[in-house]
Every structure is written in structure tokens, then in C-alpha cells.
Amino acid sequence: MAENNLVLYRKYRPKSFKDFVGQEQVTKVIMNEISTGSISHAYLFSGHRGTGKTTMARIFAKAINCQNRQGAEPCNECPSCKEINEGRAIDLIEVDAASNRGIEEIKSLRESIRFAPTFLKYKVLILDEAHQLSKDATNALLKIMEEPPAYVVFILATTEANKMIPTISSRCQKFNFHKLNHDIIEEKLKIICKAEKIKIEKDALDLLISSADGSLRDAEAKMNQLINFVTDVAFTSGDVREILGLSDINLAIELVDMLAKKEKVKAIKFISDNMEKGLDISDFLSMTIDYLRKIMLLKIGAELIDIVMPSETKEAKEKAIEQSELFEEKRLAKTLELLMDAENKTKYSSIPQLPMELAIIESLGD
């Protein structure tokens, strides 16, 4: 596939450690291991989707096989690097366990690693979504990992490390990939926008980043959707909502303000007015619950802000902390429970907004 036809997350995927963003501690440790030659036989990369786990695995595989490596950085010019960059390296085996989760696939892997690498120094097995392997496949993988050949390196990637069996995870060196914050994603998207000649207003870019929930890959995928809509003017937040089908988080923020201030009549009227404008009540209810959950966690401790809302702007974070201070903990917990109950009832209600209205009335009391 021609470079220009690649989707953005593949076209702009980092090829070196210096271009990899957002996981500084992981990058530092791995580069040090490569530089000193202290490479483990198995690694476990865990964390949120779209935060660089498989990208890091590929750069790592390239670096340990590079023929002209400088320190830890792959040269991207030698035959080994080119084979990996072009997807031709038969000694780099990538398996998606989500769709290849059976024991037969693991048996096939066992056969393939019996033989020394054909061209590269190391045979590298990257197993994505490793937690989705069947029980038999997991046990078969364990047997392979118990006495691996010296030329094999396993890299297991997962979004749910808690589902990995201890006997496998204990054999791996573990690295956690956290959600990326707003500024890191924004910096990368601005580079893409400049290269692709995409014009987008700041509010629109902030909305797109917020909807990606700390995932750079998701943000790049959403940006990819915008490219299909050619325009001579900059994309607005309204354009982004319409094209990407995003709900306006500002509506949830407005409603939470009313709930915090116990403005019952105003809250009910707000829902009714927006329903007349075509608001999807199910989507809005889900978004409000998610936002209130964040408010609840901030009520416990405002210092959690960068964990709870990593992809939001500074202004959005300040607003959320301000709102959390307006709620009493018990009322906040009760409101969340009532809204979650309303979410379950909405799909069966002949009047879509009724369960949410009842939840708000009960949460605010007299």
C-alpha cells in the first residue's frame, strides 16, 4: 500500500524511540536494557488501548535486531530494519489473540520458534490482546515460555493485565502504558494536521481529543474521518460533533451544574428543550453518568485530576474540580445510582426521557 494511502495511525506511527511519545519511563528503561545488552526473554506490555503497546513492541524488535544500532536506537536503514519496517520480516511474528485464540495457533507458534531465525538475530513473537487466549492455548503458551530458545523474545500486549494468569505474567518483565494526556495528543495531531493540510479550530481539536479518552490511536482514527470531508475553512466543534457523531460534553457539564446547585425545574426544562433539538437521550444519559463518575472521584481527591481526566483541557479540569466541591458525597453517590438505574430503564420506556427525569427528581428531593 502506498504511503499516502495509509490510515493516519499507520502513516505516522513512530519508527524510533525518539519519536515515541507519552510513555517516557517505559521508553527509558527499555532503551537502557538494549544499550547494556540486558534483554529479557519475555515482556508484558499492559494498559489502555491506543497508547503505544504494539508500536513499542515493533520498535523494540527492530532495535534488538538492528545491524547498525547507535546506543538503543534502530538505524531504520539496515536490511534488518527495512525488513521490519516494510512488514517482510518472517522472524517477527505478530499474532492477534482476539481472533487467533485457540490452541492450534499456539502449537503453530511452537513449531515456528523451534528453528533459529532465518535472517534476524532474534525471533520476536508479539502477541496482542494476550488475555483473550483460551485456557488450553494459555497453558500451551506457558510451556513454551518455561524453556524458551535463547534466540526468542516474547512480547505480550494486553488491555486487561488482571486476566493474565500469574504463571505467565511472573515470567515477564512488566511495563504499564498509561492514558496519554491532552497536550501530548494535541502536539501529535498538530503535526499531522500540518502535514495533511487539515485546518481545525482549537475548540474542535479539544473536543476530538477529549472523545479519544487518552488513546492516541483513537484520536488519529477520528482525525482520519475528518480528512474525508474536504473544506476550505477550519473544522469547527459543530463540524466535529456532526461528522464523528459525538455528543457535546458541554451539555452534560451544564446539567451537572444544575444538579450540583439543586435546580430541579431548570434541569427538567433543560432536558426537554434539548430533546426538542434532537438530543439522543440514551447517549446523553451515558455521557452524564461517565462525567458524574469523574466528579465523584475528584470529590474524593482533586489530586486525582490527571488520572481521571488525562485528555481534558486545563479549563475543563478546573471546571470539574469546581463542580465536585458543590456536591455532598452521599448525594453524588445516590445521583449516580439513580441515573444508572434510569439508563437500564430507558430502552424499555415509551417516553425516552422519563427515567432520567424521575432520577433527577428523586436525587434532588424536595
> β-strand 42-47 against 123-128: which pairing, if any?
unpaired
Number of other residues whose CB lies within 10 A of the CB of residue 206: 21
Whether 148 and 166 map to the same domain: the answer is: yes
Number of other residues whose CB lies within 10 A of the CB of residue 287: 19
Render pLDDT for 248-274 as a digit per residue (tens, 0 to 9).
Answer: 788 899 999 999 999 999 999 999 998
**H or E element, residue 153:** strand 152-158
Whether 140 and 284 map to the same domain: the answer is: no
Whether 137 and 77 map to the same domain: the answer is: yes
Whether 10 and 139 map to the same domain: the answer is: yes
Among residues 226, 244, 262, the one where a domain terminates is: 244
Among residues 145, 177, 209, the one where a domain terminates is: 177
pLDDT at 6: 65
CA distances from residue 156 to 62, 83, 90, 224, 270 in whole angstroms, order as listed: 16, 21, 18, 28, 48
Whether 217 and 290 map to the same domain: the answer is: no
Render pLDDT for 138-164 as a digit per residue (tens, 0 to 9).
Answer: 998 999 898 888 999 999 999 999 999
Look at residue 120 and tell me whether its pLDDT is greater than 70. yes
* Contacts for 236 with CB less than 8 Å, ≥ 6 apart: 201, 203, 204
**What pTM was computed for the model?**
0.81
Q: Are 69 and 63 in contact (CB under 8 A)?
A: yes
CATH label of the domain that carries residue 280: 1.20.272.10
Look at residue 21 and tell me whether its pLDDT is greater than 80. yes
The DSSP bridge partners found for residue 125 are 93, 154
Domain that holds residue 101: 3-177
pLDDT at 130: 92
CATH label of the domain that carries residue 144: 3.40.50.300
In the chain, how many domains are there? 3
CATH label of the domain that carries residue 233: 1.10.8.60
Whether 141 and 83 map to the same domain: the answer is: yes
Render pLDDT for 35-48 as a digit per residue (tens, 0 to 9).
Answer: 999 999 999 999 99
Whether 9 and 158 map to the same domain: the answer is: yes
Maximum alpha-carbon separation in the chain: 75
> β-strand 123-128 against 152-158: which pairing, if any?
parallel
Whether 80 and 191 map to the same domain: the answer is: no
Which segment of 172-181, 239-248, 315-324 scores lowest on mean pLDDT?
239-248
Whether 100 and 162 map to the same domain: the answer is: yes
3-state SS class at 343? helix
120: region left, alpha or beta (phi > 0 left; psi from -120 to 50 alpha): beta
Task: Tell which residue, 252, 250, 264, has the closest CA to residue 331.
Answer: 264
**H or E element, residue 142:** helix 135-146
Whether 55 and 156 map to the same domain: the answer is: yes
**H or E element, residue 126:** strand 123-128
Among residues 136, 161, 177, the one where a domain terminates is: 177
Tally of helices (H runs) and strands (E runs) in the chain: 18, 5
Whether 145 and 161 map to the same domain: the answer is: yes
Q: Over the Cα atoms of the chain, what is R_g? A: 24
Whether 222 and 302 map to the same domain: the answer is: no
The DSSP bridge partners found for residue 127 are 95, 156
Mean pLDDT computed over 46-74: 95
Angstrom distance (rounded) from CA 62 to CA 84: 7
3-state SS class at 100? coil
- Distance from CA of residue 36 to its chain's centroid? 31
